[in-house]
Amino acid sequence: GENVEQHPSTLSVQEGDSAVIKCTYSDSASNYFPWYKQELGKRPQLIIDIRSNVGEKKDQRIAVTLNKTAKHFSLHITETQPEDSAVYFCAASRNTGNQFYFGTGTSLTVIP
């Protein structure tokens, strides 16, 4: 089965700085990679995703990169704001069934 690893487990940055979270996956058949933001006690919310036919996707301050050969993908948040503080999860899935395999999460703290 798929194994997704995520680093770092905790990350603190100053407001305005960038934050990078990295994930690796093991199943070469995985072709969809979403990123979720989860605030304390709330549901996971999709913030950006990427499919295996592209290498990079950007949405305002958030970008995701994918290296299929190396089986790793990363989340980049620029100009961080205190409201970006949350736990971020990466995930990987195949088309079939679409159950997601999640990383263990990164707790991001943006210091004002």
Partner 1 sequence: GAGVSQTPSNKVTEKGKYVELRCDPISGHTALYWYRQSLGQGPEFLIYFQGTGAADDSGLPNDRFFAVRPEGSVSTLKIQRTERGDSAVYLCASSPSGGSYGYTFGSGTRLTVV
Stretch that binds partner 1, among 12-20, 40-48, 60-68, 69-77 (CB under 8 A): 40-48
Beta carbon nearer to partner 1, 22 or 78: 22
According to the binding rule CB under 8 A, does residue 85 interact with partner 1?
no
Say how far residue 2 (Cα) sits from the centre of its chain. 16
Token readout for 75 is 């989340």
According to the binding rule CB under 8 A, does residue 43 interact with partner 1?
yes
Site string for partner 1, 45-74 (x = CB under 8 A): xx--x-------------------------
* Backbone CA torsion sign across 42, 38, 6, 72: positive
Binding residues for partner 1, total number by CB under 8 A:
24
Smallest distance from partner 1 to CB 97, Å: 5
Smallest distance from partner 1 to CB 112, Å: 25
Q: How far is CA 18 from CA 36, 88, 96, 106, in A?
A: 18, 15, 35, 14
CA distance 112 to 80: 10
